[in-house]
Amino acid sequence: MPLELGIWRIDNGFDRMQVSSLELESRLEDILHRDITIASPNWLVIGRQVQTDYGKFVDLLAIDPDGNLVVIELKRDKTHRDIVAQALDYGSWVRDLRNEDVAHIFNEFNQKYHPDRADLSINDAFCQRFSVKEMPDELNDSHELVIVASSLDDSTERIVQYLADEYDVRINAIFFRVFRDGDREYITRVWLKDPTGSDVPTKESGPKEAWNGEYYVSFGEGPHRCWEDAVKYGFVSAGGGTWYSNSLGMLESGSRIWVNVPSRGYVGVGKVTAPVCKVDDFTVQTDNGQQIPIGEAKVKAVSILHDRNDAERAEYFVRVEWLKTVPLEQAIRETGFFGNQNSAARPPSSQMATHGRSPEEAILG
């Protein structure tokens, strides 16, 4: 069961706001189309009412920073069981989409809904949205199914949990509620399953697969952070919202990490030497041995101090002693290497290697 959210007004007494009787699900597609970050800051909408080969229409289609697709299906007038079946049916279609199919969907989406940017390529939109220099070479290595509703019955929630836990189906549900205070309306969101969980789900047929104690770190290159700075001053970082930065909190001193730059590859192996801290509290050593704030250092990330006064969106740092690094242009990328949207994750041992070696071994040689 998702957490039940309540809102109380306390500036004039103590009154609980009631869930509005307004029919929300009929408006959600427009709301999410206008600003998908209400659902997740990690998505870019690339299609709306996308026709499948079976004559059905996907409500919204999005893409994440790893180039994986996200099917977003609204419950609306469907029954609880039908919405799950519909999402699975769309998953069977979306899994076979190729790069050119994804680009075609995006072009049609812009022509129909955003004619002012009809000439914008999916590559340019992706790079702008996720602050990267290029898209992954291959899109749609995986996909995710997300059901959007104001509520689901207990049976349907159990089905979603079962598919995810027992069969590794990447399926989840988001619940939106509207609260009304006079002539004002407020929308709230809660996930059925935590989308930022650090453990990667695995199919279980006995005891849960052991974690070997090493961490995966996704380092998003862009104006807020630069790999050359990270190598020079010894850190990994994330920011732009708590969705990105919170998972850095799991990196404890002494932990070994291996670092991947999305769409480029693995670039470093290191050991954490200090816990996460906000940009204002992170210092670095200059060439003459002086300790100064990172914001005063000579860095290539021009916006490293972005939102420094906003505790939620500011950049957060974890100090690292590098065991070995490679330049970005020499990043190591192989089919099957582990990837994850979270800034830090604890992958099971079996997902840390491909062709008999791990990214760490590929870097260290």
Give the SS3 label for residue 156. Answer: helix
58 pLDDT above the threshold of 70: yes
Averaged confidence pLDDT in the chain: 85
Degrees to nearest 5, angle at CA 350 with 320 and 231: 20
| Res 209: pLDDT | 54
Is the pTM higher than 0.75? The answer reads no
Confidence of residue 170 (pLDDT cuts 50, 70, 90): very high
Q: What is the pLDDT of residue 202?
A: 39
Distances (CA, A) of 236 to 65, 69, 155, 176, 212: 18, 27, 42, 34, 21
Bridge partners of 346?
199
Q: In CATH terms, are 8-191 and 215-364 the same topology?
A: no
Q: Answer whether residue 354 shows pLDDT above 80.
A: no
Domain chopping of the chain, boundaries: 8-191, 215-364
- Write the pLDDT tens digit of every residue in 263-292: 788 999 999 999 999 999 999 998 888 999
44 Cβ neighbours under 8 A, 6+ residues apart? 36, 62, 63, 64, 125, 126, 129, 130
pLDDT in tens, 180-208: 887 888 888 888 887 754 344 433 444 44
Amino acid at 313: R
Mean pLDDT across 105-112: 95
Residue 160 has pLDDT above 60, yes or no: yes
265 and 319 in contact (C-beta within 8 Å)?
no
- Please state which CATH class domain 215-364 belongs to: alpha beta
* Average pLDDT rounded to a whole number, residues 135-155: 88
The string of pLDDT tens digits covering residues 286-304 is 888 899 999 999 999 999 9
**Residue 330: which pLDDT band, with cuts at 50, 70 and 90?**
very high
Amino acid 360: pLDDT? 62
Structure tokens belonging to residue 309? 């006064």
pLDDT category at 86 given cuts 50, 70, 90 is very high
CATH of span 8-191 = 3.40.1350.10
> Taking a C-beta distance cutoff of 8 angstroms, is the pair 217, 59 a contact?
no
Percent of the chain with pLDDT over 90: 52
